[in-house]
Structure 1
């Protein structure tokens, strides 16, 4: 049987996105698929990557803030020209659904990463009076999409938004067989880490306050890009010498920064788009053997509770965060034991190695069904 081919598109996500590039695309390549990966390489100041067997890459305009028209037009041109040559089209941004009408394409799959309508309600670039209207429009697009394309869901809790059942490919992580023990000082300093995109809603101001209050010998390290007002917040904190901010790092380098840290932070606010989603960073912290300090959003609090690998603190309660970190620094065996528990739990329940075959099988089934 000939190998399958898939056109993978995003105009929003970083081309090195862990879910897209390092889990899904890698799994398809390993399964023998031919993959065309279209992403905003130049929009993130990246060159097209070196040749990888089975993988072709295409540059698309980046969609950001209110500047989305060029990206949508570019994606539509690409779909028209290249889509019919593939067995499947895999979309990673809801706005790409708007590029489909009138095109003759193979089966289309939309990977639903988040509660898009809830996310719209907190987008700073959308005028506040229009956010509810925009959220209602997104719900309408979702209902129409379910009738016209195939869906993959990144979380079981997204199922309630749709009428029919759809395959779930959870946001999990690749878990190493062994994890470095937590609380390993580097040059006498214990690192507290945050991994992922940074916004005010994701706790940028609280993290700066934590960094300001850390006792000697502890240091906050932020790995990930900042968006909106959080950019200025982190930039000022870095200029003051309060923390280390690396910005975006490729996935392998980013997760390596977790090894040996004292703890990982996830101080998300109580926002509608966060409530039904598992924060992947918490899974990654535990999978790399470090305990997590999280706010009481349902899924991350449940993960920390079931694994016994961290602490839940109230929203905005930076004093409690500092107390936890100081206690762990004073007795490093506590975070090391919590880290061991977390690694074992995530290896058993949230390892991409147990999910990748189901993902490839789901796409194979769609492709086999034909147009």
Structure 2
């Protein structure tokens, strides 16, 4: 299907080649025949020769305040000239921009990546009163600006907050190379963490894993602030050489992460997060990516996570504060290699048959197509 309908995706916060925005949503809509353009910040470190989506570049600001003022205004000016049929924003700070772009001849969509209210309430650098005030202010602003927007949701539980939202879940694209790859031979005493590294994503828990099990080497591939990498090294103590961090202060592309999965015969993919309201409710994207690559998962025993790995028989859930339980999980995988292989295969099968982007891609394309019937869309939101 080829159409003259133009779709513009906009972000001032995310990397221009963010997996959900660029590799999934933009590419899927382009493959479906839409004219797709990305408005996002410039990244001078990236090689754009193999990029297929037109990218209108925004200036990168180190100051968050400058980005929110000047970056959003620049995004508005550039996006307005494109006269798109659909504008999709990916950041809360672009809500006023989307509102200003909305007219009777187009559609605007807010793609919700995170539970932002919970995220605000978890900010350690704010006192309780400030957090409450900012959260209330954000909810009020969001309610006003999204009144005439379509809302897409990256996570199931976001529908508790946005019952009218459409779930476009962040499942992985099935990788044909992963399908053909088999976990054969001796498994290494190496575990893998992929994606951004942060405190709330268990950076310090993961950093101390070589102290818990001195035989383990822990590999991280994803953006990690250099200051945090130093703290992780302190947690590892005399074993800090067993922490391998790729992506210090720099974004790691999806293609590079996927190559990493095939580099070794990994013992497991890890997600030992501390308990926070947001992550305790969420099915992590990295779960699906570990499963896609055929890796067993070792994760925190939050009820949602424990139920997930038990349902798909793809890993072990443990108390992230219990060092003995964590070591026992790794010992089990090392001592039962056939069971570990079965866990990986179970996860891979679940992704291939059910938990994959192709199922969400069809839903997204049909939804965008329906929303472009502007008259019926306007009637649906009155």
- Label 1:77 to 1:138 Cα distance change in 2 as closer, same or farther (>3 A): same
Q: Equivalent residue for 2:118?
A: 118
| Residues 1:297 and 2:302 aligned together | yes
Using structure 2 for the length normalisation, give the TM-score: 0.86
Q: How far does residue 313 in structure 1 lie from its aligned partner after superposition?
A: 0.4
8 Å Cα contact 1:190-1:261 kept in structure 2: yes
Q: 2:219 aligns with which of 215, 218, 221?
A: 221
Q: Equivalent residue for 1:97?
A: 95
8 Å Cα contact 1:73-1:99 kept in structure 2: no
Q: Equivalent residue for 1:19?
A: 20
| Residues 1:58 and 2:56 aligned together | yes
Q: Distance in 2 between matches of 1:363 and 1:108?
A: 10
Q: Equivalent residue for 2:36?
A: 35
The structure carrying a bigger helix percent of its residues is: 2
The answer to which structure, 1 or 2, has the higher relative contact order (CA under 8 A, 6+ apart) is 1
| Residues 1:286 and 2:291 aligned together | yes
Structure 1: stretches of 5+ with no match in the other structure: none
Q: Distance in 2 between matches of 1:318 and 1:15?
A: 38
8 Å Cα contact 2:292-2:348 kept in structure 1: yes
- Listed as ranges, the matches of 1:184-199 within 5 Å are 189-199=188-198
Q: Distance in 2 between matches of 1:166 and 1:148?
A: 12
Q: Secondary structure at the match of 2:340?
A: helix
The worse-fitting range, judged by mean Cα deviation, of 113-122 and 174-183 is: 174-183
8 Å Cα contact 2:155-2:169 kept in structure 1: yes
Q: Secondary structure at the match of 1:281?
A: helix
**1:147-172 deviation per Cα after TM superposition (whole angstroms, max 9, x unaligned):** 1311001122111213x522110110
Q: 2:74 aligns with which of 52, 57, 77?
A: 77
Q: How far does residue 47 in structure 1 lie from its aligned partner after superposition?
A: 4.5
Q: Secondary structure at the match of 2:15?
A: coil
Q: Distance in 1 between matches of 2:86 and 2:226?
A: 35
- Label 1:32 to 1:41 Cα distance change in 2 as closer, same or farther (>3 A): same
Q: Secondary structure at the match of 1:109?
A: strand
The worse-fitting range, judged by mean Cα deviation, of 220-229 and 287-296 is: 220-229
- Listed as ranges, the matches of 1:159-308 within 5 Å are 159-162=159-162, 164-177=163-176, 178=179, 180-182=181-183, 189-216=188-215, 218-227=216-225, 230-234=228-232, 240-247=240-247, 248-259=251-262, 260-308=265-313
Q: Distance in 2 between matches of 1:94 and 1:184?
A: 47
- Label 1:229 to 1:138 Cα distance change in 2 as closer, same or farther (>3 A): farther
Q: Equivalent residue for 1:356?
A: 361
Q: Secondary structure at the match of 1:50?
A: coil
| Residues 1:322 and 2:321 aligned together | no
Q: Distance in 2 between matches of 1:104 and 1:48?
A: 33
Q: Equivalent residue for 2:144?
A: 144
Q: Secondary structure at the match of 2:7?
A: strand
Q: How far does residue 128 in structure 1 lie from its aligned partner after superposition?
A: 5.2
Q: Distance in 1 between matches of 2:168 and 2:138?
A: 22
Q: How far does residue 228 in structure 1 lie from its aligned partner after superposition?
A: 8.7
Q: How far does residue 350 in structure 1 lie from its aligned partner after superposition?
A: 0.6
8 Å Cα contact 1:31-1:360 kept in structure 2: yes
Alignment size in residue pairs: 363
Q: Distance in 2 between matches of 1:59 and 1:116?
A: 26
Q: How far does residue 104 in structure 1 lie from its aligned partner after superposition?
A: 5.2
**1:61-93 deviation per Cα after TM superposition (whole angstroms, max 9, x unaligned):** 4477x6233344333333234335211111111
Q: Distance in 2 between matches of 1:97 and 1:32?
A: 27
Q: Distance in 2 between matches of 1:263 and 1:111?
A: 31
8 Å Cα contact 1:234-1:245 kept in structure 2: no
8 Å Cα contact 1:286-1:309 kept in structure 2: yes
Structure 2: stretches of 5+ with no match in the other structure: none
Q: Distance in 1 between matches of 2:231 and 2:184?
A: 27
8 Å Cα contact 2:151-2:165 kept in structure 1: yes
- Label 1:30 to 1:323 Cα distance change in 2 as closer, same or farther (>3 A): same
8 Å Cα contact 1:60-1:75 kept in structure 2: no
8 Å Cα contact 1:121-1:132 kept in structure 2: yes
8 Å Cα contact 2:12-2:71 kept in structure 1: no
Q: Equivalent residue for 2:65?
A: 68
Q: Distance in 1 between matches of 2:136 and 2:183?
A: 45
Q: How far does residue 126 in structure 1 lie from its aligned partner after superposition?
A: 4.2
Q: 2:337 aligns with which of 332, 338, 342?
A: 332
